[in-house]
A = this chain, B = another copy of it.
Amino acid sequence: MLEHGGNLDLAVQRFGGRAQDWIDLSTGINRQPYPVGEVEPRYWSALPSRSDIESLHEAAQQAYTTKARIVALGGAQVAIQLLPSLSSRGRARILAPTYNEYAAVLSAAAWDDVAEVSNLEALAGADLAVVVNPNNPDGRRHHPNEFLSLLPRVGRLVVDESFADAVSGLSLAPGAGPSGLLILRSFGKFYGLAGLRLGFVLGSEADIAALAAMVGPWPISGAAIAIGRRALLDREWAKATATRLARDCLRLDAEVRSQGWQLVGGTLLFRLYETGDARAAQARLARGQIWSRVFEQRPGWLRLGLPGNGTEWSRLAAALSR
């Protein structure tokens, strides 16, 4: 099993306490979730209907300002799992450092020419090229036009926009549709509902039809349909949330300045700091039962999500001042 954020089991195992007492800043999941509200009984009891799934697709198209073909899946991760089945085995290139599941899933499916590259240009010539935009964990961004000029030079281009919500002008979703371009969207991160398991893929008619066939007739839960649709149509909430997150990012950057940590980059949902010694920084925060993300390959890097309320900010400040 790969190392991921959100592994509170590991925090408890290494530093003790009960999972529910920890503040999990090891992920990029918004800690002020969209209100779940009431879920009508039929969403629990009945199989998701075609018309309900279609209405969720329409809500997502509206939220992502696109008319492209779309399919809802049980999280962006499901789309990653399906990449080896969608594409013929070949030369895969991944813009790195980035989310570790791409290389792992392709290698597990016996792709033997999988490599990480450090700049967009080096993706040219790949049968399958992968970019996370903005990137996790360093927040690196590419303008949509850069992808459009890369597209003719790769077999298939996957742009993972898991952290692109509410970042204006960054998303390729409005331009989705051309053959070879696949755009992944996560629902759970920005809406703070990772447990719901919901994500989307936008792409060409052929690719979306192929993915839909792979996941079968009931790929998501009734609750994901009911809550997801409501949330995606609530543009007021999204706007207010984006404003709050932008403010909280600045607050977190200021908060850690006392530690001498340098901001490497980030998105609206997490910040990446060069700490000199991330294991030590993680252990210090852990003594205040705050969990963070470190990266084996980058011993100085510490990634922090944003605290969700006043209590969490206070506990973070206290942990940092020890």
Contact = CB atoms under 8 A, between A and B. Distances in A.
A85 interface: yes
Interface string A67-106: 0000000110110110001000000000000000100010
Interface in A87-139: 101, 105, 108
A31 B42 CA distance: 10
Contacts of A77: 216-218
A77 B78 CA distance: 15
A20 interface: yes
Contacts of A41: 33, 36
Q: Which of A36, A42, A46, A108 has the most CB of B within 10 A?
A: A46
A8 B49 contact: yes
Interface stretch (A174-182, A221-229, A261-269): A221-229
Interface stretch (A191-199, A200-208, A272-280): A191-199
Contacts of A45: 29, 31, 33, 192-195
Nearest to A5: B47
Given A101-B216, A197-B221, A24 B44 contact: no
A237 to B, nearest CB: 15
A254 interface: no
B27 A47 contact: yes
Nearest to A84: B85
A51 interface: yes
- The 8 lowest CB-CB distance pairs between A and B, nearest first, are A195-B222, A6-B47, A197-B221, A47-B194, A81-B216, A33-B45, A44-B195, A9-B51
A197 B47 CA distance: 8
Contacts of A48: 195, 197
Contact of A7 (B29, B36, B50, B222): B50
Contacts of A188: 47
Nearest to A40: B20
B217 A195 contact: no
A4 interface: yes
Contact of A195 (B6, B46, B51): B46
A158 interface: no
A89 to B, nearest CB: 13
A317 B261 CA distance: 73
A78 B215 CA distance: 7
Contact of A44 (B9, B74, B196): B196
A1 interface: yes
A214 interface: yes
A36 B29 contact: no
A37 B215 CA distance: 29
6 contacts: A1-B50, A8-B49, A74-B197, A74-B219, A108-B213, A197-B222
A214 B81 contact: yes
A41 B35 CA distance: 10
Given A19-B49, A74-B197, 14 more contacts: A6-B47, A8-B49, A9-B50, A24-B46, A33-B44, A36-B41, A47-B188, A74-B74, A74-B219, A74-B220, A85-B85, A196-B222, A197-B220, A197-B221
